[in-house]
Structure 1
Amino acid sequence: MKLLIVSDSHGNRSALENLKVKYEGMVDAMIHCGDSELKADDPALNGFAVVGGNCDLDSRLPEELVLKIKESTIFIAHGHLLQIKSSLMNISYRAKELGADCVFFGHSHLLGAEMIDGKLFLNPGSILLPRGGNEKTYAIVNKKDSVFNVHFYNDRHEELKQYRRTFE
């Protein structure tokens, strides 16, 4: 399984179009973790599984999604309704309820990936407004058998090798 995860594009259509040109047809899913600030039917979001965030005004965007891809159950939420800036506890409980093994979220604009109780928790950072001294980022997750390989890239598609992680 190969996934593209992006978040917090805040109206930047060109960043999303650029990702589609590079990855469409090369990944099993393209996922947007909210705060696109675009309407649900905006062409820039075509091909993305999208959730709404605190800056999204289109009520057609769901608060959360659950995707089943190959052998994985993927839970996607922006994170603001689950208070991810304070703790991952609420999003972890929700992921457990849903039987998810992958948990993707945004909101904080801070990239990160970790395994908690056998689940991959990943925030791709922000493709427009990064925080914490980071670059504009997105993530690619490869899963083979029970091994996750996580790679973060900047908006020029250069891998940020210092953030590369493998989880078993």
Structure 2
Amino acid sequence: MKIGITGDTHGSLQAIRKIVSTTPPVELWLHTGDHAADANLLHNLTGIKTVRVRGNCDWQEQDALVDEYLVLENFKVWLTHGHKYIQWNTQADLGYWAKELDQDIVIFGHTHIPMCEYYGDALLINPGSPARPRGGSKPSFAVLTLQKGEAPQVEFFEL
């Protein structure tokens, strides 16, 4: 299963269009929040199911949840913006909660910096931001490939 991951799009139609024109075929989109309404646009442009969460800048997106829990190809996947859980150290904070919540993969945003690292047994993935990158990173999104019984694979795409 191929899953497109984006977030921290902050209302940038240009960023969404670049993502759509750059993305290889995916079966599902995950949006990590901060302009969760962009997930609707992503769905409308691609026709692909899109799951979104509410970020710290999503005051008007009351219908989006802060956390979504999915089971994909036998992996427990926690989608969150991260602002409720990240305090001092992204890895340690989200890794702690992944263990507490018994999740295999944590997909989050908030920092606008792409990353893919294990913390203990949990894989932490941040697609970065296609609209407002930080930390010297370039505009980006990610594609996660999951296959039951195989290690997850993550590929980052720069825009």
TM-score by length of 1: 0.79
Q: Counterpart of 2:30?
A: 31
Deviation at 1:48, TM superposition (A): 1.6
For 2:111, which of 102, 108, 112 is the aligned residue? 108
1:54 match: 56
Q: Aligned pairs, how many?
A: 153
Aligned to 1:165: none
Alignment of 1:1-168 (within 5 A): 1-20=1-20, 23=23, 26-36=25-35, 38=37, 42-46=40-44, 47-57=49-59, 58-83=61-86, 86-144=89-147, 145-155=149-159
Q: Which has the higher contact order (CA 8 A, sep 6+)?
A: 2
Calculate the TM-score normalised by the size of structure 2. 0.82
- Deviation per residue, 1:8-34 (Å, 9 max, x gap): 00001343355346659x323210111
Q: Is the 1:84–1:91 contact (alpha carbons within 8 Å) kept by the matching residues of 2? A: no
Q: Tell me, in whole angstroms, the C-alpha distance in 2 between the residues paired with 1:85 and 1:59.
A: 27
Aligned-partner SS, 1:152: strand
Query: 1:28-76: CA deviations, max 9, x gaps?
Result: 3210111025377x44455321011011121111101111112111001
Q: Any runs of at least 4 consecutive aligned residues in structure 1 with deviations exceeding 6 A, and if so which? A: none
Tell whether the 8 Å contact from 1:135 to 1:154 is kept in structure 2 after alignment.
yes
SS at match of 2:90: coil
Match of residue 162 from structure 1: none
Q: 1:153 to 1:84 in 2, by over 3 A?
A: farther
Aligned partners of 2:11 and 2:38 also within 8 Å: no
One-letter amino acid matched to 2:153: N
Amino acid at match of 2:105: C
Query: Contact 1:85 / 1:108 at 8 angstroms: preserved in 2?
Result: no
Q: Please state whether the residue corresponding to 1:94 is helix, strand or coil.
A: helix
**Deviation readout 1:115-158 (Å, 9 max, x if unpaired):** 12222101111010001221100011223333222211012xxx
Consecutive unaligned residues in structure 2, runs of 5 or more: none
- Quick one: percent identity of the two aligned structures? 30
Unaligned runs of 5+ in 1: 156-168
